[in-house]
Structure 1
Amino acid sequence: MITLGTASAAPGEMDIGRLEVGESRDGGTVGLPVAVINGASPGKTLYMQAASDGDELNGVGVIQRVVPQLDPADISGTILIVGIVNYHAFQVAQHRNPIDDTKMNRAYPGDERGTSSERIAAATFDAARRADLILDLHQGSTSQMINEVRVRCGRHHRMHAKCLRLAKTFGCGYVLDQKGPDGQLARAGPDAGIPTIDPELGGCVGWDEESIQKGVQGVHNVLRGYGFVDGDVELEAQTRARGFDQYGSPVGGLVRFKRDLGERVSTGDVVFEVTDVFGSLKARVTADHDGIFWRARRLPQVASGEYVCSVGIDLDTY
């Protein structure tokens, strides 16, 4: 019998339940939605979670679509799922946990006696540490962004090669291979010896079907590639960026992008222009290095110095 919170499943079974992570302001129990899929045959354990940032919904869409497609009778190993991590933020469609004004993906490995976010992080990381592989499903929050997978442990980490292999198996087509901030699950997992990736499934607030389907395919790739289900994965070449050039606006006004997401950019190319409200050109910003147009703000209005876009640089194919 495999248990996660109140969900328990014998071999060949699936169950859903709740993982208690504290109490709300009215004294009621706060429980995260969880699922256990216990395969009929022994094998590895995969941990998967979504919505650690409460307005990043595409990962929830991936889980909503993947779980009904899985038959425990056809699975070797175990899949542990937390469908919504940042419970309080999800309820109010916010990025940060409103109880403690914390970005959840900076709270790992957590503290079971700490703040609301630290307690949630501790409870979910306790589940994640039971796994052989970790998928932490994200999206680009309010920005527009290509579908990518992030390897956040750093290139000198002992788990880097295994994280990179997991990213390639997931197979979004683009990988950001750059050490992430402290407190990310994609940092804490490798530190505990578990290959972990952070798929960023598109951007903007909402529910994007194309990015969700990319994530669904990525999860199935991992299930096949690591022996949870039958089938082979053809590992396609991925474009890897090792960093970003980030661009702010030199003036205030309205942004007009001159490149599309995923488009190649050469040094000196015009990346965006800024006009006044009457369409008169105020500034033109060019690329500092060759790269890929990776991420862009959603709304056109900017103040001087405000973030506009990012270009992925230091590229290779692996």
Structure 2
Amino acid sequence: MTALKLVEENAALRKVAAPRRNSVFTSIDLDRDGKQIGFFAMPQSPHDDAWGSVQIPLAVVKNGIGPTILIEAGNHGDEYEGPIALGELLREIDPADVSGRIIAIPAINVRAVEAGTRTSPVDGLNFNRCFPGDFNGTLTQQIAAYVNDCLFPIADYFLDLHSGGSSLMILPAAIIEPSPTPEGHKRNIAATLAFGAPTVVMVDNLGETRTSTAAANLQGLIVIGSEMAGGGLVSQDALAICRRGIRNVLKHAGILKGAPETAQESNGRVLQVPGAEGYVMADDDGVFEPLSELGSTVTKGEIAGRIHFLRTPSREPVVLRHPIDGVVFAKRQPGRVRPGNCCFVLAVEYPEALAKGDRDDA
């Protein structure tokens, strides 16, 4: 199926609502051919700027007729591989090599990106738990509303670039966002496999509907996610995977020419986070000592780690155990924990029959 045919079929299935009334403005023309790098802005009126605005970097690279992809990075401000790789792409890409349109937002949660924090210092909100957003809400809610109402409806693909941030180390992976429709699910899997990460993991965030990928799914876009290392650092290995993955998805969509360039280790294993049973949570306030390595295979009942109580040396540490057999997909980065903190995330093999069928359909 050609990229244009896929876009036409997808558009026929989508129901797009009119955008809600808003006061967002932008410095660029989303429909003009060529490369434009500017911003969209949210009017804000803080103490030191009565009629000011917050400018969020926005870029468009367009050439003729073809699919539109929206690429987002900086969803959380302490996740760095995506913004770096997307910025490189925007500096390097020649519009003449594009068939269709790339809309890129490399630092979407801009105040969090500036602060290097997961949540926005302006309102304390997690951008990835704010969809569909609110144009009459706080800054983070307004940004989410603009993406939801004004950008998702004109896009065919959505690529959401994440890392583990300051609190997690994660296996570099492409992420399948489960679609509400069987056809959408197959398309999401095909596009995610095209990213070409060493590991592919299906994650539904325990059914969370307020994420950007879940919101894009509800509007019928073809959705691809990524998780690239973490720990508040920049991983050269993960950055290389991210650079290649972005271009691979553009090729898969038909926006760039050629076939995706997948390394030998690409899609080496396809996993899924099975649900609440895949999470190891702290129930105590203390210091966590992890005893399982990232990427290792663990068994149900195996010791995952211990929580130590430094002010009460007479107290024995609390032992945490893995709740299921699986692969360590994510591991907590800071040693300090309190009740409810996520210490490990486990993934299991994606059902073989489904994986084979999805690969064949891809």
TM-score (structure 2 length as normaliser): 0.77
> For residues 47-196 of structure 1, what are the structure 2 equivalents within 5 Å?
47-125=70-148, 126-141=150-165, 142-154=167-179, 159-172=184-197, 173-178=199-204, 180-196=207-223
- After TM superposition, the structure 1 = structure 2 runs for residues 145-294 of structure 1, keeping only pairs within 5 Å, are 145-154=170-179, 159-172=184-197, 173-178=199-204, 180-233=207-260, 236-244=267-275, 245-249=278-282, 254-274=287-307, 282-294=317-329
Identity of aligned residues (%): 22
* Maintained 8 Å contact 1:155/1:177: no
CA contact 2:38–2:58 (8 Å) conserved in 1: yes
The Cα of 1:214 is off from its aligned counterpart by 1.6
Q: 1:272 to 1:24 in 2, by over 3 A?
A: same
Q: CA deviation at 1:292?
A: 0.6
Write the letter of the residue equivalent to 1:117. Answer: T
CA distance in 1 between counterparts of 2:328 and 2:176 reads 19
Matched letter for residue 271 of structure 1: A
* CA-CA distance at 1:247 after TM superposition: 1.6
Asked whether the equivalents of residues 273 and 346 of structure 2 are also in contact (C-alpha less than 8 Å), the reply is no
Q: Confirm or deny: 8 A CA contact 1:22 1:119 kept in the other structure.
A: no
Q: Deviations over 1:99-151 (max 9, x none)?
A: 33221112222222333222111222312321110011122222111122333
SS at match of 1:37: strand
Bigger proportion of residues as strand: 1
| Matches of 1:275 and 1:119, distance apart in 2 | 42
Q: Whole-Å Cα distance in 2 between the matches of residues 133 and 159 of structure 1?
A: 11
Distance 1:226 1:304, change over 3 A: closer
Pairing 1:46–2:69 present: yes
SS of the residue corresponding to residue 346 of structure 2 reads strand
**Residues in 2 aligned to 1:272 and 1:192: alpha-carbon distance in whole angstroms:** 41
- Residue 135 of structure 1 aligns with an amino acid whose one-letter code is L
CA distance in 1, matches of 2:180, 2:132: 21
Q: Summarize deviations over 1:67-123 as a string: whole Å, max 9, x none.
A: 223211111111011121112222322222233322111222222233322211122
Pair 260,133 (structure 1): closer, same or farther in 2 beyond 3 Å: same
Offset from partner CA, 1:135-189 (integer Å, 9 cap, x none): 1112222211112233334565652222222211112222124254122111111
Deviates more, 1:291-300 or 1:52-61: 52-61
Would you say the 8 A contact 1:166–1:197 is kept in 2? Answer: yes
> How many Å separate the matches in 2 of 1:255 and 1:31?
39
Greater helix share, structure number? 2
> Root-mean-square deviation (CA), in Å?
2.8
- 3-state secondary structure, aligned to 1:129: helix
**1:248 Cα offset (Å):** 3.1
Distance in structure 2 (CA, Å) of the matches to 1:211 and 1:190: 26
Where structure 2 has 5 or more consecutive residues not aligned to the other structure, the ranges are 1-24, 356-362
CA distance in structure 1 between the partners assigned to 2:316 and 2:270 by the alignment: 34
The equivalent residue for 1:17 is: 38
SS of 2:280 mapped into structure 1: strand
Contact 2:135–2:145 (CA<8 Å) still a contact in 1? yes
Shift of 1:297: 1.2
Distance (Å, rounded) in 1 between the aligned partners of 2:268 and 2:331: 25
Aligned mates of 1:250, 1:37 — CA distance in 2 = 48
For the residues of structure 2 that align with 1:121 and 1:275, how far apart are their CA atoms?
40
Sort the Cα spacing of 1:102 and 1:274 in 2 relative to 1 into closer, same or farther, 3 A.
closer
CA contact (8 A) 2:273 2:348 kept: yes
